[in-house]
Every structure is written in structure tokens, then in C-alpha cells.
Amino acid sequence: MVAARARSESHHVLLILIGFVAGLIAGISPCVLPVLPVVFVAGATTESPSTWRRALSIVLGLVVSFTILVLAGTEIVSLFHLPQDFLRDLGIGLLIVVGIGLVVPRLGELVERPFARFVARQPALSRGGFVIGLALGLVFVPCAGPVLSTIIVLGAKEHVSFLTLLVTLAFSLGAAVPLLFIALAGGALVERARSLRQKGPTLRRAGGVVLIVMAIAISTSLFNSLQTDVPGYTNALQQHLEGSATVRHQLNALKGTKGSTDGSLSVCTPGDPDLQKCGVAPNFTDVTAWLNTPGDKPLSVKDLRGKVVLVDFWTYSCINCERTLPHVEAWYNRYKSDGLVVVGVHTPEFAFEHVVSNVRAESKTLGVDYPVAVDDNYGTWNAYDNEYWPADYLIDANGVVRHDEFGEGDYALTENLIRQLLVAAHPGLRLPPRTSEPNLTPTEPTNPESYVGYERVQYLANTAAPEPNVAVSYQFPASLGTGQFAFRGVWTDHAQEATAGKDAALELNYQAQDIYLVMGGTGSVTVSTGDGAPPTTFEVTGVPRLYTLFHAKATSAGTLVMKVSPGVEAYDFTFG
């Protein structure tokens, strides 16, 4: 028993240490660049006789608000039916108010007064610095990986333990350490420069203006390109720490889970023409948000007993999923009155697909009106041991998985099995006619999927290899091999996408009927195919999504050239 207690204590200490180191890495990553000027200005302008106490007050406020946000932010938003970005917007608004307070001291006193009691026992602490720290904790969203996402999930599910609190505090303190030294640097500048000290009121007003400008810049995502263009100098550290088996084991222990399922669904043969018994259906796990349910309330497999359930894993920028969606939507509309429930599990592939508002908007654009579970943390994906987009799991009225299907194309079989399960659940049921959506699955050889970001790039033909997160000028090679693409002009290749710069262009050797590219950013793209057809120009705007570059009546081979304006982001070529 003593040994077991010692192992438990050792596990707790290791988790807290992991949290602190992960926070420390996040605190020096490019993600914190937007808040650094704010911290520096706060260290230089908030009033306290001690530089250390001035800096500590900022860090204390950040740790308090960041910890509360991580552990209870989701519950606060849900309880008061607030928008998803409310707390971040609140922090930005608070920064603006503090900035105005530095410009207008009388207003600054009013802003700081509610926090006077909180810091009354430590009179040397700067209340202004504490308020700025509170605001920063709400807008500081570092690249924290699985350590922070695990804690957020626990907070959202109200599974917060004392250990979870300690790990969160450790992460917050780790992230705050670099910011503490930035604040100290701001304070030291003023302490050492007598001329600046004598101009205290002017310095405060200037600092207030800087706070206001920075808050507005953060609110308009002005720093997004800066954060992505600065080399990811902490990526290797972060991946080494948070991607290790030891850390994953510790985080799964924190969640109280073993990670994925026991593999019981693997007894199913994917695409089998007959109904099977593959095991009890896992529940929808670690869902970030629900869409298209009454009040966006969660569903559970247990609550759906008596219904036939189709669980469809998808992501909105996936062309294979987009070709499948019309069939899933048709089945839902045709059979929902007969007892069919469709749950689309949206598990993201790219970072932009983690944003709930993006999923909501694209679901509406694609005509998805059945319930959608936003699976940002891969909880449900792992519960089903899934590995594919799209993937379908058919669950009978008793909650047992009876069929699984990976990829697109076998629509007639899936619909046939849906009808069998509906009749089995309701003997004597007279079903409407089958649906008649055309099957657009490619039947001829095409290019393989081709990622543009350096993390998974395979078919790049340029002799100069991309330098991660560095702007490089390229030239088209003399020729392209089958399925290859190449850069020309200036491109900055990131992990998931490449961002166009001056004179940017892409060349692609293709064999396909349809060519698609996931793009984001803002700008124009002109596409030429060299087959006598005039060039086509279209605009790239809004959140990243799938664009159709080329469509022909039949599969053909050739070379496609894209002229791309600066600021456009290219993610992933797919073909049909």
C-alpha cells in the first residue's frame, strides 16, 4: 500500500512538472508575440515602487484569469448562453478600458477600484498591473497541445480534481515566467532612465495608447500572419514533450481513460455486404460542441436506443466527404420519420477546422441539417478507433454496431443495410423508395492526394527543398513527373500550408476529371490548363475551404498553372 501511494505521488509530481514545462515552452512560442508589447508596456507604466512587484502583479492577474478560463470557461459560456468568443472579447475590451484609464487617470482609478480589496493585503502590488494581467489571461491562447486541451475537456465535463487544478496552475506559471521577464524589462527601462521617470504622466498616456492599439490589433487578428510567418522555433520542443508516449500515458491517466477503445469494433469486416455484430457502440466522447440539436444539447448513444443510428465521420474541407454528404443528407431526409438518426462527427484535419464557427458556417453551406458533434479533441474518433475520412458506422436499435464502411462509393450497400435495420426495429414498417443521388466516386486513375505544407509534402518537384516557415524564392523545374507540383516565386511553407508571396505561382502535373485545392487567406487565383480554354480567375476569401480549380467532361492529363496573389494559403490538392 505504501508502494502504491508512492507511485501515485510520483505520478502527480510528474504531471505537474509536465504541465509547467509545457507552459514554459508555450510562453516562448510565436503564439505569445501579440501580448509581448502589452506586457512590456504594463511593466513600464503601472505604478508601484518596486519593479519586481509591478511585474508580479501582472503575472498574478494572468495566472488567476487564465486558470479560471481553462477550468471553467466552457461552463461559464454555456451557463449564461454566451457566444464562444465572449471571454476573449471581454479580455480585449478590458485592455482597451485599461488603456483609456492610463490616458485618463480618473477613469483608471474607477477601473482599478473593484480589485482594490483583492490586493489590499499586499499594498505594494499595482492594481493596474493586476487588471492588465486579468485581461491578458483571457486573450492569451498559446499553442499548448494536448496538455491544455486535456485540462479544458476535463473542465468542460466538470471533472475538475485538485490534481487538475495543480496541473493547470503549473501550466499557467510556466507560461507566465517568460512574460515576467518581459515585464521586468519594461520596468527596468523606466527605473534606469531618469528622464523617463520624470515624464511619468506622458509615459503612462503613451502606454495607454499602445495598449489600445494592441488590443484592437489582437481583436482584428492582425497578428495572425506574424505568428505563422515567424519560424516555429519551439515546435520540436513541444512535439518532443507532448508527443512522447510517457506524456500521453500521463494525460490519459489524468482523464481517467486508457486512450482508445479495446478494439472490439475491429471484429467487423469493413464493407461486408451482410449485417454483423461488431460490439456495443461507443458513446460520443469529449465533444467540443453540438450543432443542429435542440438547444445544441448533447446526444448520447444510450438516449438513442430504439433508433437506427448512422455515425458519419467527416471534415468539411475533405472532397471525399463532400462527395459523400449528399447521400448521407438524402438518407437522413428520406428515413428520419421511420426511425433513422444521423450524427455527423466532425473531426478536423487542419487547424482552421477546429474553429466551431467555421464548422457551423460550412455545415450550413453544405446543407448539413442533421446533428453534428464537433470532435476537436479526437475523443469520439479514438473511441471508435477510426482512421478515415469519411467513415460510417451503422448502429442498430439495441445500440450494437452492425456495419462499418471506410471511404466513399458503397452507397447502395449502406442504404440497403439501413433499410434492413429499420424494418428489424419496426416489423411491418413500409419504407419509402430508395434514394437516387448520383454516385460521383471517381472510377478512373487520378493523382493521389497531395499536401502542400512541409509536414506531409510528398510530390514537390522543386530542386530547392522548402525551408520551414521561411520565405524562399523558387523557379519552376524544366519538367514535372506524374502527379508532381512545383512552386515559382516567393512562398513560405508552413507545417500545414504554404503562403504565397511576390510573383507566386504553382504548377501541377495532373490526371483527373476534377482538381480541388483547399485554400485560405485573401487574394485572387488565376488558373490556366494549356488546353485552349481561357484562364479562369476567382477570389479566395473567408475561412479556408475547398475550391474547385478545374472540371472536365472526362478524365484527362495535362499541366495546370496557377498564378497566386500574395496572402493566399494553399493546403491540399485532391482529385476526382
Q: Which residues pair with 391 in a beta bridge?
A: 313, 406
Cβ neighbours around 72 below 10 Å, total: 15
Cell of 275: 449485417
CATH (one of 3.40.50.970, 2.60.40.420, 3.50.50.60, 3.40.30.10) for 265-425 = 3.40.30.10
User: What pLDDT does residue 120 have?
Assistant: 45
Q: Give the three-state DSSP class for 434.
A: coil
Same fold, 265-425 and 450-575: no
The alpha carbon of 299 is separated from its chain's Cα centroid by a whole number of angstroms, namely 22
| Euclidean distance between CA atoms 47 and 45, whole angstroms | 6
Q: Give the three-state DSSP class for 524.
A: strand
Query: Containing H/E element for 180?
Result: helix 162-192
Cell 492569451 sits at which residue?
A: 140
Cell of 375: 470532435
Q: Are strands 471-474 and 450-451 parallel, antiparallel or unpaired?
A: unpaired
User: What pLDDT does residue 415 have?
Assistant: 92
User: What pLDDT does residue 56 have?
Assistant: 77
Show the DSSP H helices in 230-341 as ranges.
235-242, 245-255, 319-335
| Euclidean distance between CA atoms 121 and 125, whole angstroms | 9
Q: Are strands 450-451 and 523-528 parallel, antiparallel or unpaired?
A: unpaired
**Phi–psi pair at 572, nearest 5 degrees:** -160, 120
Among 505, 507, 466, smallest CA distance to 483 is for 507
Cell of 301: 448513444
Cell of 157: 465535463
Q: Are strands 372-374 and 340-346 parallel, antiparallel or unpaired?
A: parallel
Using alpha carbons, list the distances in angstroms from residue 265 to 26, 50, 348, 401, 449. Answer: 37, 62, 22, 8, 28
Helix and strand counts by DSSP (H, E) for the chain: 17, 15
Query: Containing H/E element for 314?
Result: strand 308-314
Q: Give the three-state DSSP class for 531.
A: coil
Q: Which residues pair with 570 in a beta bridge?
A: 498, 519
Cell of 378: 479526437
Show the DSSP H helices in 193-234 as ranges.
194-198, 200-219, 224-229
Helix, strand, coil in percent for the chain, rounding step 5: 45, 20, 35
| Euclidean distance between CA atoms 460 and 457, whole angstroms | 7
- Whole-angstrom distance between the N-terminal and C-terminal Cα of the chain? 61
| Cα angle for residues 5, 7, 13 (degrees, 5° grid) | 105
Contact 576, 514 (CB under 8 A): yes
Q: pTM (2 decimals)?
A: 0.49
Contact 218, 139 (CB under 8 A): yes
- For the four alpha carbons of 545, 541, 30 and 377, in that order, the dihedral sign comes to negative
Judge residue 2's burial from the number of C-beta atoms within 10 Å of its C-beta, 0-12 exposed, 13-18 middle, 19 or more buried.
Answer: exposed
| Euclidean distance between CA atoms 56 and 34, whole angstroms | 20
Cell 419509402 sits at which residue?
A: 432
Cell of 390: 469519411
Cell of 26: 508555450
Name residues whose C-beta falls within 8 Å of residue 449's C-beta, 6 or more positions apart in sequence: 572, 573, 574, 575
Domain boundaries along the sequence of the chain: 10-224, 265-425, 450-575
Judge residue 407's burial from the number of C-beta atoms within 10 Å of its C-beta, 0-12 exposed, 13-18 middle, 19 or more buried.
Answer: middle
Does domain 450-575 fall under CATH 3.30.460.80? My reply is no
* pLDDT per residue rounded down to tens, the chain (576 residues): 344 444 455 556 777 777 787 777 767 765 566 667 767 766 655 555 566 776 777 777 777 777 776 666 655 655 665 654 566 677 777 777 777 777 776 766 665 566 555 444 443 345 566 777 777 766 654 444 445 545 544 444 445 567 777 777 777 787 778 777 777 776 666 666 545 555 556 666 776 777 777 777 766 655 544 444 444 444 445 545 554 545 545 555 555 544 444 445 656 777 788 888 888 888 998 898 899 988 889 898 888 898 999 999 988 877 778 888 889 999 999 999 999 999 999 988 776 777 788 888 888 888 899 999 998 888 888 888 887 788 899 999 998 999 888 888 788 899 999 999 999 988 988 989 998 888 877 777 788 888 888 877 878 888 777 788 888 899 998 888 888 899 999 999 888 889 999 999 999 998 888 888 988 888 999 999 876 778 889 898 877 888 888 888 888 888 889 999 999 999 988 887
